[in-house]
Chains A and B, each alone.
Chain A
Amino acid sequence: MRGALMTLHVLSVLVEDKPGVLARVSSMFARRGFNIHSLAVGPAAEPGNSIMTVVVNAGEIEQVVKQLRKLINTIKITELDPVGSVEREVMLVRVSADASKRGELLDAAGVFKAKAVDVGATSVTFEMTGTPSKVNDFLELMRPYGLIDVVKSGWIALARDSKTRNLRAIS
C-alpha cells in the first residue's frame, strides 16, 4: 500500500467550525506521516461550518481520507479532480525592478493577467490569481528579475456543478 507514486490530491473538507479543528487536522497529518502541500480554511456556506481545501502529497489517498473522516468534527470530504473542479490560488509577489526593467515586467504581467498593486522606486508588487500551475509559471517568470517577497494563499477549490466524487460513501 506504500510506495505508490506521489501525486497531489485536492480534498475539500467540510468541518464543524469549533475551536482547535485546524490543530486536530494538522496534528493528525503529523502523527500519520502524511504530507500537506497546502491548506486553506474559511467559513463555509452553512453557518457554523468551515471548508478546508487540503492539498496532499501522497501515493494513496484512501488512508488520508479515512483518517480525516475519523476526526469527530469532520462532516464531509470530497476529492476534487482538476477536470471536475475549479482550483485557484492567490499570490502576492514583490520583484526588484528599477525604472529600466519596469516596462518589461508589466508586459509580462499583462500576459498572465497579473495586476501591479504597488510600484516603488526599486520594486513592483504583483497580485496574481489563477490556477496553481499558472501562478507558479508566473512566479518562475519573475524569478530571474529577483524575488524580494512571495506570499501565496494556498489552494482553494470548488467542485464544478455535479462533477464531484463524494468520498463520504466510502468513509
Chain B
Amino acid sequence: MKITVAEALIKALEFEGVEVMFGHPGGAILPAYDPLYDSPIRHILARHEQGAGHMAEGYAQATGRVGVAIATSGPGATNLVTSLANAYMDSTPMVAITGQVPTTAIGNDAFQEAHTWGISMPATKHNYLVTDPEDIPDVIHEAFHLARSGRPGPVLVDLPKNILNSEIEWHEPTGRVDLPGYKPNTKGHPLQIRAAVDLILEAERPVLYAGGGIIAAGAHAELLELAEKANLPVTTTLMARGAFPDTHPLSLGMPGMHGTYAAITAMQKADLLIAVGTRFDDRVTGDPDAFAPHAKVIHADIDPSEIGKIRVAEVPIVGDARIVLEQLNRKIDKTLDGAAAPDHAAWLETIGDWQRDKVVHYEQDPAGPIKPQFVVEELYRITGGEAVVVAGVGQHQMWASQLWKYTKPRTWLNSGGLGTMGYAIPAAIGAKLGLPDQLIYAIDGDGCFQMTQQELTTASTEGIPIKIAVLNNNNLGMVRQWQRLFYNERFSATELTDHTPDFVKLAEAMGCVGLRAEHPSEVGPVIEKSLTINDRPVVVEFRVDPDEMVFPMVPAGGSNDVVAMSREDLE
C-alpha cells in the first residue's frame, strides 16, 4: 500500500502507542497535520510551541512515557528549543517532530527556514534530518528508543515538506534499531558491586544521595529497601523529590543550596556518599573542592560521563539504578548472611539533633500579609498531600519543594537543571493529560506565570482542569532575594507591576475560574473552593509578602560548611 510519508509518520507514532501530542501547525508541517485529523492520537493545540514542548515534558515526567511535541519549520522549531534544552538537562524522554523547508530549498534562506538540526543538536540526545522517505518508520522507532532508553532525553526529527509529501510503500517499523554504537550498560559490574557493599558495611557515617535517575529507573522500592536494610539516611535532590518518602525516619530531605541543614551537613561530615542516579550538580555541591571532604564516593549512573565529571568516585558503577540497587541489596543480604547490618545509631542520632535544632521558622501573622510558605503548607494540609505538584522557577519552587512531604515518585514535577521560568502551566497541562484522574496543582510565581500564561486558554478550550496557585509577591522574588543579600538592596528590574495584570480577570478571560486570597484567613477557604471546581482550570492568586526569603541558603559557589539559616547568618 502506497502512502505519504506524512501518513506513515502518523502511523508510526500510533505504532509507538502515542495517545496525545502537543503542537502548533504551519506551512512546512501541514502535510503531517492532514492525516492527524483522522488519527486516534489527540492533538493539543498549544498557544506557543514552548508551551507544547513543556506539555510534552510534563506528560513524560508524570507518566514515564515519551512526550511528543510537533511544530512547523523556522520559528515553530526555534520556539521549541527551550523545552528541548530543558528536557535534555532533566533527562526527560521526549520526541519532537518539526517541519522543514523542502530539501531542494535547504540552505537557500527559504521562507521559514531555520537550521533546526544544527540549532537543536546541543539541546538533544540525538537528532535527525530525514532526507530519504523510506527511512521514516524506522527513524521514528529509533527516536522513541533513544528517548526512553539509557539516560532518557529529547530526540528531534526534522522533516522537509517534500519528504512528507512523497509516497512510500508502508511497512510497519521492523522494531530493529540500527545503532551499532549505542548499547547502554544496565547491569553493574559484579566487582564494583562487591567493592560498594564492602564500603557500605564499613562506613560509620554514610549518606545515600539519591537523584532523578531513581525516578527515571522506577527504583524507589529498591532504594527504600537499601536504606532500611543498611540503616542509611537518604537525601533526595530537587529532581528526586518523592523518590524516597519525606515521612520516613531516614529521610533527610533535599541537599544543596536550599536544602535542609541536616542533609547538607550530613554530606559534609559523611565518610561515605552512595550517589545513585545523580550528577553532583553545583546547586548540590556548592564549591566542589569543599564538598563532602571526608567522604569516599560510590557513584552509580547509567551515563558513564557523569561518573568522575565533578567528583572522583572510589567505586564507579555504570548501570541502571533499579538493577544496581537490586544487585547491592542482594549482595548485602549475602554478605550479612543473617547478621545485623551496622545500625549507625550514633550517626543517626547526630543527624536527629540537627533535624530538631536546625530548622527554618516563619511566622504567619494572622493580620497578614500572607506568607508564601503558609500557602504551600495550607495546600499540603488541605489536599492531604494527594496531588501532583508542578512548580515554576524561583522562591515558590523552593518552598514547594521544602514544605511539602513527597512520598511517591512522579508527584513533584519541576524544571531543575535549566531552571526555566514558565514551565509550570504547560507542564501541568501535560501531566493532567497523562494522569486525568489525579489532582494536578501547579505552584507558580507571578513572574513565571506571565511567561506561559496563554496556555491557560489551551487548558480551558481543551477541557483540562488543572489548578494553579500563583504566589504573587509582585516581584521576581528569587532575583530580588539575591539583590537583597548580595547587591545592597538595589532592586534593579525585579519589581513587577502592582495589580497588573489582574490575575483573576486574566484567568476569567482565558476561560478559567479566577480566585484570590488577600488575607491569611482567606487562604484555606479559597483552596477548599478551588478543589470543588473540576470542570474548568482554576487560577488562585495569593497576594503574598514580597519580603520573604528562602532559607536555608548556601551562597552560590560557597562551601557547604557554612549554611545560613536566616539573613543574620549572612551578615
Interface residues of A (CB under 8 A from B): 1, 15-16, 19-20, 23-24, 27-28, 31, 62-63, 66-67, 69-76, 170-171
Min distance, Cβ B292 to any Cβ of chain A, angstroms: 15
* Residues 195-219 of chain B, each 1 if its beta carbon lies under 8 Å from chain A, else 0: 0000000000000000000000000
User: What A residues does B405 contact at CB under 8 A?
Assistant: none
Q: A27-B122, A70-B303, A171-B305 are in contact. List 12 more A-B contacts (CB 8 A).
A: A1-B308, A15-B181, A16-B181, A20-B129, A23-B121, A62-B308, A66-B304, A66-B305, A70-B304, A70-B305, A71-B181, A72-B181
**Which B residue sits closest to A49, measured CB to CB?**
B180
Assuming the A-B contacts A1-B308, A69-B304, A70-B305, are A20 and B117 also in contact, with contact meaning beta carbons closer than 8 angstroms in the complex? yes
Task: Knowing A27-B121, A72-B125, A72-B126, say if A67 contacts B181 (CB, 8 Å).
Answer: no
User: B176 at the A/B interface (Cβ < 8 Å)?
Assistant: no
Residues of B at the A interface (CB closer than 8 Å) are 117-118, 121-122, 125-126, 129, 131, 146, 179-182, 303-305, 308-310, 312
Residue ID in chain A nearest B311 by CB atoms? A1
**Residue among A16, A23, A24, A72 with the highest chain B CB neighbour number at 10 A:** A72
Using known A-B contacts A16-B180, A72-B182, A74-B181, determine if residue A67 contacts B305 with beta carbons closer than 8 Å. Answer: yes
- 15 pairs, A vs B, C-beta closer than 8 Å: A1-B310, A19-B129, A20-B117, A23-B118, A23-B121, A31-B122, A63-B305, A66-B305, A67-B305, A70-B303, A72-B126, A72-B181, A73-B181, A75-B180, A75-B181
Whether A72 lies near B303 (C-beta < 8 A) is no
Complex: A62 Cα to B304 Cα, angstroms: 10
Specify the chain A residue showing the minimal Cβ separation from B309.
A63
B181 and A171 within 8 A (CB): no
Q: Which residues of A contact B125 (CB under 8 A)?
A: 72
Question: Of the candidates A1, A23, A67, A75, which one forms a contact with B312 in the assembled complex, judged by CB atoms under 8 Å apart?
Answer: A1
Q: How far is the CA of A73 from the CA of B182 in the complex (A)?
A: 8
Least distance between B84 CB and chain A CB atoms (Å): 14
In angstroms, Cα B309 to Cα A56, docked, is 18
Which chain B residues border A19 with CB–CB below 8 Å?
129, 131
**CB-CB < 8 A to A171: which residues of B?**
304-305
Closest to B117 in A: A20
Give Cα A31–Cα B88 distance, bound, in whole angstroms: 14
CA distance A171 to B318 in the complex (A): 9
| CB <8 Å contact, A72 and B310 | no
Other-chain contact of B304, A15, A24, A76, A170 (Cβ < 8 Å)? A170
- Complex: A67 Cα to B303 Cα, angstroms: 10
